[in-house]
Amino acid sequence: MTVEAQSSAVYSPPERLTNPEGREKPWVSSMAQYEELYKESLEKPAEFWTRMATETLTWIKPFSQVTQGSLKAGNMAWFPDGQLNVSYNCVDRWAAQDPSRVAFVYEADEPGQASQVTYGELLDKVCGVANVLHSFGLRKGDTVAIYMPMIPEAAVAMLACARLGLVHTVVFAGFSSSSLAERVIDARARVVITADEGLRGSRPIATKKIVDEALKSCPEVEKVLVYRRTGNESVAFNASRDVWWHEAVAAQRPYCPPVPVSAEDPLFLLYTSGSTGKPKGVVHTSGGYLLGAALTLKYVFDIHDNDVFCCTADIGWITGHSYVVYGPLALGSTSVIFESVPTYPDASRYWQLVQDHKITQFYTAPTAIRALRRHGDEYVKRCDLSSLRVIGSVGEPINPDAWTWYNDVVGGGRCAVVDTYWQTETGSHVISPLPGATPSKPGSATFPFFGIELAILDPTTGAELEGNDISGVLAIKRPWPSMARTIAGDHKRFLDTYLNPYPGYYFAGDGASRDADGYYWIRGRVDDVINVSGHRMSTAEVESALIGHHAVAESAVVGAPDDLTGQAICAFVTLKDGFDANDELKTELVKEVRTRIGPIATPKILILVDELPKTRSGKIIRRILRKVVAGEADQLGDLSTLSDPSILDMLVRVVTAAL
């Protein structure tokens, strides 16, 4: 199989990085230096990781062993006898050096209301909340659910858990009450931390109300800690269970000692969609994860003292965990927390943010880049973006057109663009350019990060494809520090999903190619996962939400190509006898998905059909639906298993009418 050429342009690292004029040189400033470090990371891993882990983190008890276990056995551990405390690493050491250093810049929903949290203030806030959690009886290993808007207190809640060795599970505050309940129950959380309301684009979000609804089905939850964000007095308060954040903190002593944990103790669970209906709680550890987040941020975004880093992801996703909270703070850097949306009050909000806070590195998703590009260059050009050095992209393949616009218009041709490939399960970047070193090709995530040994496998035989100019499925050949260790309560599922499909390899679930020059190109998911605006949705999860509606007999959900969101959710539904296909019912079904999962799962296209394409044994053939919605009905491939070929004409007709 040859690799189709996507874009022939190669962009060298910009002058601004290679010739930094008075600024510090990039951490890695040539391909030769990258190759040397990369080679060391693979050939002398114990030396490499010992140096990185001791330079980057402060250990309470130093580790004597770097790594143990294997991908084959699924028992990986890093720095297993080392002890540390994550909140100490992220807060105390910087507060001790300089309490006035800024940890967070908080850009609130309404423009003009920005504020700062210094490391000294952060230490007090984290200690206060940690003491409250301790007073609730929570001890090391207990789980706490966090359902909060994008405000500094969300990070404070995470760090307060880390201070006590509690395991947090942040649930994106756009998820519905039933999705929240499902996660709270699976994680066995006894405490939920939330806010009265959220604000996005001046619209209030009924955060606490959603928690109240969710907790009707979570009898194990004893306490709800509520941060007052808007102060709306009509928000319900259940005095036997709810505790106001400000009142509880005021009752506590302002210092809380950090609890030592093992490097392998879990730091958090984060639920992500897989190819079956039930979201999985991916488990990340304290030592390896923190090291991965800190190191990738340092090298991939070339973070130096006095930089202001801004990642626009919500803390409800792994990107927010690693690059809003843990990575920046582990480096003692300044991180921007943005509460609002990129188009409020208008489409220059991100760029205004860069100008106002003199942001040096900016990190967002292709879907936002494409959406803002549609608004025109004017919104970018009216702002002074001269502080920027590195601009990043994450979440889905970035099309070369969007890359070029990002580079030319946002970066002004002066910045390095880093297309970072990684996953919830990898914890931190695994493939990315390094801004001062890597010549980039738009649309390619380029080369592996230190310690990441990549392989491209033949999907059918599992054989590793050697050499360049090849395509297959992406795999990683050895463990790395920030990789997920298990799925909460279901280690077998962890093994079956990632490690057993190709024994000896971590299977990422993405198709990939290595071109003639050795660059990696990610081709998208090869499983039943849809990537909508950089958010992973499981087709099975949407299908089961639809089937939950009393009128639905069957459903099949596939991803349809979408210019803005990358992929859009397209649902095919058959109805039970006695129900009429009409627009009202369609609207009701879309609403059903929104209420069961959340607005991010909203089907963009919902098509009522009489029949779905099936094999003779009755299995739905989603591949056919995928091809039809992609306008590739002429490339359906082998149809010998299709039980009723006459249904194809009908499908093409209804899809054409619906699109």
Binding residues for ligand WT7, per CB under 6 A? Answer: 272, 318-319, 394-397, 419-424, 445, 508-510, 522, 524-525, 531, 534, 536
What residue has token string 């009128």?
551
Q: What is the DSSP letter of 480?
A: -
Q: Which is nearer to ligand WT7, 80 or 392 (CB)?
A: 392
Nearest-CA neighbor of 26 among 391, 385, 304? 304
Least Cβ distance, residue 311 to ligand WT7 (angstroms): 11
User: In which residue are the tokens 């604000």 written?
Assistant: 199
Among the listed residues 592, 537, 590, the one whose alpha carbon sits nearest the alpha carbon of residue 559: 537
CB of 468 to ligand WT7, least distance (A): 19
Nearer to ligand WT7, 49 or 317 (CB): 317
Cα gap 319→315, rounded to integer Å? 7
Residue closer to ligand WT7 (CB basis): 394 or 570:
394
CA atoms within 13 A on the CB side of 187: 35
The least CB distance from residue 367 to ligand WT7, in Å, is: 11
| Spacing of C-alpha 226 from chain mean position | 25
Q: Which is nearer to ligand WT7, 569 or 589 (CB)?
A: 569
Please, what is the minimum distance in Å from the beta carbon of residue 512 to ligand WT7? 9
Residue 473, beta-bridge partner list: 457, 511
Least distance to ligand WT7, CB of residue 79, Å: 23
Cβ partners under 8 Å of residue 411, min gap 6: 14, 385, 388, 391, 417
Q: How far is the CB of 441 from ligand WT7 (least distance, A)?
A: 13
Cβ partners under 8 Å of residue 372, min gap 6: 342, 343, 347, 350, 379, 380
Q: Give me the least distance between CB of 159 and ligand WT7, in Å please.
A: 21
Report the residue closest to ligand WT7, judged by CB: 424
Burial profile 338-366: b = 16 or more Cβ within 10 angstroms, e = fewer:
bbbbbbbeebbbbbbbbbbbebbbbbbbb
CB of 575 to ligand WT7, least distance (A): 32
By beta-carbon proximity to ligand WT7, the closer residue of 218 and 475 is: 475
Q: What whole-number distance in Å separates Cα of residue 44 and Cα of residue 462?
A: 27
- Could you tell me the sign of the dihedral formed by the alpha carbons of 340, 343, 344, 347, in that order? positive
Contacts of 584-590 with C-beta under 8 Å, sequence gap 24+, read: 585/551, 588/549, 588/551, 589/546, 589/549, 589/551, 589/552
Q: How far is the CB of 448 from ligand WT7 (least distance, A)?
A: 13
Question: Is the CB of 235 or the CB of 417 nearer to ligand WT7?
Answer: 417
Select 62 or 518, whichever has its Cβ closest to ligand WT7: 518
Q: Which of 370, 367, 407, 377 is nearest to 391 (CA)?
A: 407
Which of 186/196 has CB closer to ligand WT7? 186
Nearer to ligand WT7, 265 or 419 (CB): 419
| Distance of closest approach, residue 340 Cβ to ligand WT7, in angstroms | 20
Closer to ligand WT7 by CB, 13 or 442: give it. 442
* Burial classification of residue 255, based on how many CB atoms lie within 10 Å of its CB (0-12 exposed, 13-18 middle, 19 or more buried): exposed
Rounded CA Rg of the chain: 24
Task: Give min distance, CB of 530 to ligand WT7, in A.
Answer: 10
DSSP string across 22-47: TSPPPSS-SHHHHHHHHHHHHHSHHH
Closer to ligand WT7 by CB, 23 or 493: give it. 493
Q: Looking at residue 456, what DSSP letter applies?
A: E
